[in-house]
């Protein structure tokens, strides 16, 4: 499907001084409004005036000044957010920039992203948070919100705490050393205690370094056959178990990033039952692909945590279904072609994911009856926004922050057309069903 970019601004650029009605009006006609936070699922019209929702009714009359958008058969959802994205700026602009990363997010259907701190320098200082926020406001007219995740430790070295109060006060919505697990138990305890004071989560990349060191794929029969060093599931599970005990001890908020194993899901499930303040996320590639695909030696199948087994995928899907897993996040990790076009062992971990996330989730979760459309929206919008304290709702008087989805469109992934600066995806050529067709945020609409 060829996408055509259309920018519909709700600003005053197209207004004329002699117009009696100076309001900018957009009428979303006959869309299926699904807002899980309000338990709403209804076909309706929505009138938006100057970027705010003026009216939600079954049939709204439009005057000549109103721009109408026919959304028959389409879904109107609260703006999707990806709480695990690597925008690479500052320091690695050859992979991605805030400009290209937020454009990729917009085309993927996200009105907001949370950017992880493994930049250069790391997001361990107020000035870096401010820099990212400034760049985000300039990128693509600021239609995609960018919420920085601050470092747990200085330079992400795991030796001493970063200035947590300074980071949060500057706008950091959580703390993580993502890609470098906080392995020192005392440092993790202190981080949880400080984060609790500011009501932000610690977002942990769960991995025991000694067990994972040198590994490039899931440890098992296939890694042995291929002669590739493995990363055992216990590397992830032991760290989660330790952290859950610390989270229970401190009564702090703890978020597990990109879970990949059945035992990890069950640990979180049991933690929730005990009342521990734990939330978790999973990526589309971890509920779609197994370790079998690594037989291709395609370096776009190399990610951390690695692709696991069929049983792990089934456990992840069950975890999404029963609420043990709260969030779908992409772990969007851009790398340039020359970085990935090397020997499998030498290649960096990670793939891009912003522009394929909705399609993969629709095919793997909704079509296979693991989730309803409303539950999918919860995983992409309601739940992640609640975790970081950026909740929104589609209601009269509220700012219009929405994602538009065509649940029936069939399309083929073409990485060459990605808006991301990098194209490292294992899904090139894959046929999908369901896609975002636009977003609206900050009085701007982007349809494609």
Residue holding tokens 């979760």?
A: 365
- Tell me: pLDDT of 11 over 50: no
Q: Cα 185 vs. chain centroid, distance in angstroms?
A: 27
The runs of H, that is alpha helices, within 198-309 are 209-212, 221-226, 233-250, 262-273
The runs of H, that is alpha helices, within 58-204 are 98-108, 126-138, 164-170, 185-197
Average of per-residue pLDDT values in the chain: 95
- Tell me: pLDDT of 5 over 80: no
- Tell me: pLDDT of 284 over 90: yes
pLDDT digits over 324-369, tens only? 999 999 999 999 999 999 999 999 999 999 999 999 999 999 999 9
pLDDT digits over 189-214, tens only? 999 999 999 999 999 999 999 999 99
Q: What domains sit in the chain, N to C, each tagged with a CATH number?
A: 6-76+397-447 (2.30.40.10), 80-388 (3.20.20.140)
Among 124, 331, 343, 406, which one carries the catalytic annotation? 331
Residue 4: pLDDT band (50, 70, 90) is: very low
Q: Which residue has the higher pLDDT, 20 or 319?
A: 319
Q: Which residue has the higher pLDDT, 9 or 202?
A: 202
**Residue 13 confidence (pLDDT):** 31
**Residue 7 confidence (pLDDT):** 53
**Residue 8 confidence (pLDDT):** 54
Residue 6: pLDDT band (50, 70, 90) is: low
pLDDT digits over 118-152, tens only? 999 999 999 999 999 999 999 999 999 999 999 99
- Tell me: pLDDT of 248 over 60: yes
**Residue 3 confidence (pLDDT):** 42
Express as a percent the part of the chain with pLDDT over 90: 94
Cα 429 to Cα 296: distance, rounded to the nearest angstrom: 15
**Residue 21 confidence (pLDDT):** 43
Q: Cα 31 vs. chain centroid, distance in angstroms?
A: 24
Distances (CA, A) of 251 to 150, 160, 200, 254: 21, 21, 12, 9
Cβ neighbours for 211, distance < 8 A, ≥ 6 positions apart: 231, 232, 234, 235, 238
- Please name which of 70, 140, 148 lies closest in space to residue 107, comparing C-alpha atoms: 140
Element (H, E) at 375: helix 373-377
Question: Which SS3 state, helix, strand or coil, does residue 201 take?
Answer: coil
**Residue 2 confidence (pLDDT):** 41
Cβ(253)–Cβ(244) below 8 Å: no
- Please name which of 93, 139, 152, 92 lies closest in space to residue 113, comparing C-alpha atoms: 139
Residue 331 annotated to the active site? yes
pLDDT digits over 74-116, tens only? 999 999 999 999 999 999 999 999 999 999 999 999 999 999 9
Distances (CA, A) of 5 to 22, 44, 381, 419, 447: 26, 25, 24, 12, 6
pLDDT digits over 428-440, tens only? 999 999 999 999 9
Cβ neighbours for 435, distance < 8 A, ≥ 6 positions apart: 1, 109, 358, 359, 405, 406, 409, 411
Question: Which SS3 state, helix, strand or coil, does residue 53 take?
Answer: strand
Cβ(258)–Cβ(285) below 8 Å: no
């Amino acid at each position: 499907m060829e996408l055509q970019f259309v920018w519909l601004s709700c600003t005053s650029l197209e207004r004329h001084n002699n117009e009696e009605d100076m309001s900018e009006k957009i009428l979303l006609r006959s869309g299926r409004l699904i807002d899980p936070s309000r338990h709403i699922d209804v076909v309706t019209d929505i009138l938006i005036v100057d970027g705010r929702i003026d009216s939600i009714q079954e049939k709204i009359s439009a005057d000549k000044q109103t721009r109408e958008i026919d959304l028959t058969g389409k879904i109107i959802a609260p703006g999707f957010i990806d709480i695990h994205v690597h925008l690479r700026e500052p320091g690695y602009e050859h992979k991605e920039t805030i400009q290209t990363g937020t454009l990729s997010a917009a085309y993927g259907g996200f009105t907001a992203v949370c950017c992880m701190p493994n930049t250069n320098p790391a997001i361990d200082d107020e000035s870096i948070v401010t820099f990212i926020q400034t760049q985000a406001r300039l990128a693509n007219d600021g239609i995609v919100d960018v919420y920085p995740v601050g470092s747990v430790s200085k330079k992400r070295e795991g030796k001493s705490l970063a200035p947590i109060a300074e980071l949060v006060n500057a706008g950091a919505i959580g703390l993580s050393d993502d890609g470098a697990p906080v392995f020192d138990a005392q440092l993790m305890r202190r981080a949880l205690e400080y984060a609790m004071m500011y009501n932000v989560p610690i977002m942990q990349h769960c991995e025991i370094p000694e067990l994972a060191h040198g590994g490039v794929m899931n440890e098992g029969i296939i890694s042995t056959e291929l002669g590739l060093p493995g990363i055992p599931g216990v590397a992830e599970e032991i760290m989660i178990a330790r952290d859950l005990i610390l989270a229970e001890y401190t009564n702090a908020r703890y978020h597990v990033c990109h879970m990949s194993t059945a035992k990890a899901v069950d640990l979180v499930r049991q933690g929730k039952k005990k009342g521990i303040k734990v939330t978790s996320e999973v990526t589309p590639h971890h509920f779609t692909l197994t370790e079998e695909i690594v037989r291709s030696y395609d370096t776009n199948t190399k990610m951390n945590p690695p692709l696991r087994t069929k049983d792990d995928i089934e456990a992840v899907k069950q975890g999404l279904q029963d609420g043990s897993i709260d969030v779908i996040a992409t772990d969007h990790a851009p790398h340039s072609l020359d970085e990935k076009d090397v020997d499998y062992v030498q290649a960096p971990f990670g793939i891009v994911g912003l522009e394929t996330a909705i399609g993969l989730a629709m095919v793997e979760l909704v079509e296979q009856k693991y989730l309803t459309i409303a539950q999918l929206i919860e995983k992409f919008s309601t739940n992640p926004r609640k975790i970081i304290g950026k909740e929104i709702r589609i209601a009269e008087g509220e700012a219009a922050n929405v994602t538009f989805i065509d649940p029936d469109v069939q399309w083929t992934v073409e990485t060459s057309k990605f808006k991301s600066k990098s194209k490292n995806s294992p899904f090139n050529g894959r046929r999908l069903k369901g896609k975002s067709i636009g977003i609206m945020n900050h009085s701007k609409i982007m349809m494609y």
